[in-house]
Amino acid sequence: MNKGVVYLVGAGPGDPKLITVRGLECLRRSDVVVYDRLASPRLLRYMKEGARKIYVGKLPDRHTMKQEEINQLLVDLALEGHTVTRLKGGDPTIFGRVGEEAELLQENGVSFEIVPGITSAIAVPAYAGIPVTHRDLASSLSIVTGHESPEKLDRSIHWDKVTNATGTLIFLMGVAKIGYIAEQLIRHGKPATTPVALIRWGTRVEQQTIVGTLESIERIVKEANFQPPAVIVVGDVVLQRDKLKWYEQKPLFGVRVLVTRARAQASDLADRIEELGGEPCELPVIETREPREAAAVEAIRTALADAASYNWIMFTSVNGVEYFFNWLDRFNVDIRRFHAARIAAVGPRTAEALRKRGLIANQLPAKFQAEGLIEQLEGQLKPGEKVLLPRGDLAREILPRELKAKGLVPVELDVYETVIADSQDEQAFEWIRNREIHAITFTSSSTVTNLLEVLRRNGFEDPVAQLAGIDVASIGPVTSKTASEAGLSVTIEPEDATIEALVEALVQHQITKRSKADPS
């Protein structure tokens, strides 16, 4: 068997988008990913299908796997012929023990590559608004480990040289020793009034920053019950924070949002949440697919074969557009055969999906629901006209019912079906279990019912009770009605049933909450 290869990859400090392009390439091609708790779990969604993931992370009071065992694990996996990514928080060469891992790989003849990452020593302060160097304040910096006993610190750190050699001091993993560190720095010449900042879980939704001086920081840490992991910054650059704390000023900072829509559609919503400072937690509880039963496929073929007979085609979703054209391709049906049909669309996204295919929708309702479409077309619909409705199997009956009431002939065509998604994310369940989700977005009634069912299937006896207290953002009244009937309390609903309006409503809700919490 051929030997595999091991990529020793720096994942960055927490924000998954801070991984390097090369690191992401390695992650995507690997058969096995070995990761720890400082690497963002959201990076694991980039693993190729069927790849294994092995958690070897360390907690402050518990080591899941000893370093020597991790070293040997990498060797064993490579000797079995696997391509392996060892995903490490920050940069693997800065207190990441990558040298030990690489050395054993080399001794066993295993090919390896060290992929640098963005170290928390510079990224975390930057996210807190603290540049580690500044032309007027600090032209150099030192990065020091603080994760040792005082005796080991004294043996590994020459306090007199460190204290006076550089402008900015960065201590990693030193929260528990902050009092001793401050004491030594003062003893060796740092003024007691030197500014100090501690940033916990920097670049992540949990980011928390406290600021003090060398003489006050230990007391502040104890009063705040400030826990690791955190980066400690000592120096005048800390004073820049008041002017430069950009990340914490974003409107969704500190908000973890559960995104329940299908994975293929979730990226736009997730990206928008990230841009606004929130953290999307993607838990797709639905997926769409082509109907698989022979009778359903034959019904589609028959309906498309009768293309010239339709007076209208009414699209009610982007999925309806996508799957409709997929079926046209499958059955080799030219769109020009629908030459007699006028085209209507519900919602701007649906109209845009049509526009990309060179089709301009005749009508676009002000209300992005089926009711709005009927209202907008009032006076244009004529009895006896034949209307094709390409949509999903769970679509509401109001549109065909209203068309029939007006004397038209609707042809309901289920071009796709909605099912509960198979693949789920254990990290999402952990966040829900620990009540670390702050808001949930529902973009359809099926996302509501399926989320509750997915939670039941994964050990949540009372999903509604588990979600109590979390802000529920519903895209529109129909979805809100489903959520309310299921026992959930909807706190956010936009005027327009669009993703953009949903995100804006979520932002306004957070702004209102913060203003109430801090009237000043």
Compute the distance between CA of residue 329 and CA of residue 357 in angstroms, rounded to an integer.
13
For residue 340, the SS3 value is: coil
Residue 413's contacts (CB-CB under 8 Å, 6 or more residues apart) are 299, 300, 303, 324, 388, 389, 390, 391
Residue 411's contacts (CB-CB under 8 Å, 6 or more residues apart) are 303, 310, 386, 387, 388, 389
Phi, psi at 286, each rounded to 5°? -130, 155
Compute the distance between CA of residue 381 and CA of residue 479 in angstroms, rounded to an integer.
28
Do the beta carbons of residue 252 and residue 228 sit within 8 Å?
no
Active-site option among 53, 58, 250, 481: 58
Active-site option among 15, 47, 173, 177: 173
Q: Is 58 a catalytic residue?
A: yes
For residue 308, the SS3 value is: helix
Q: Which of 66, 124, 129 is nearest to 94 (CA)?
A: 124
Strands 286-289 and 409-420: antiparallel
Q: Is 243 a catalytic residue?
A: no
List Cα–Cα distances, 17 to 24, 41, 300, 472, in angstroms: 10, 12, 42, 26
Largest CA distance in the chain: 92
Strand order in the sheet with 111-115: 52-55, 32-35, 83-88, 5-10, 111-115
Instruction: Write out 462-509 in H/E/C secondary structure.
Output: CHHHHCCCCEEEECCHHHHHHHHHCCCCCCECCCCCCHHHHHHHHHHH
Active-site option among 15, 36, 414, 471: 36
Compute the distance between CA of residue 186 and CA of residue 180 in angstroms, rounded to an integer.
10
Q: Is the peptide bond before 229 cis (omega within 30 degrees of 0)?
A: yes
For residue 166, the SS3 value is: coil
- Residue 134 DSSP class: B
Compute the distance between CA of residue 101 and CA of residue 91 in angstroms, rounded to an integer.
14
Instruction: Give the burial string for 186-207 (b: 16+ CB within 10 Å, else e).
Output: beeebeeebbbbbbbbbbbbeb
Radius of gyration of the chain (CA): 28
Compute the distance between CA of residue 319 and CA of residue 323 in angstroms, rounded to an integer.
6
Do the beta carbons of residue 377 and residue 275 sit within 8 Å?
no
Q: Is 36 a catalytic residue?
A: yes
| Amino acid at position 502, single letter | L
Could you list the active site residues? 36, 58, 173
